[in-house]
Amino acid sequence: MIVDKSRCELLHEIMAVDFKLYDLQLYLDTHPFDEDALCMYQNLVNDADELTEEYEEKYGPLTPKSAAGNCEWKWIKNPWPWERG
């Protein structure tokens, strides 16, 4: 199976930003008034949105939520991971 390296790299970036977001969420649960952390969190949310948008434009939806189009269900439009060759 041939996997597009840039696709994997982009997915790894998304996962890394998501991990940072989850970690920062835990911190903010106990430090809700830390302005630096709140600013960092918002920046990471923006980064995650941009990376996800880039991935989905190139490779298709990442989640069922993003698969819902106006008039079609996009989740099954792309090949499944085991169908890529």
pLDDT tens track for 15-68: 999 999 999 999 999 999 999 999 999 999 999 999 999 998 888 888 777 766
Tell me the C-alpha to C-alpha distance, in Å, between residue 83 and each of 2, 21, 56: 10, 32, 18
Using CA atoms, how far apart are residues 5 and 7, in angstroms rounded to an integer? 5
What pTM did the predictor assign? 0.74
How high is the pLDDT of residue 63?
Answer: 79
Q: Which domain holds residue 25?
A: 5-83
The answer to whether residue 1 scores a pLDDT higher than 50 is no
Provide the pLDDT for residue 17.
97
What tokens were used for 14? 């998304």
Q: Count of domains in the chain?
A: 1
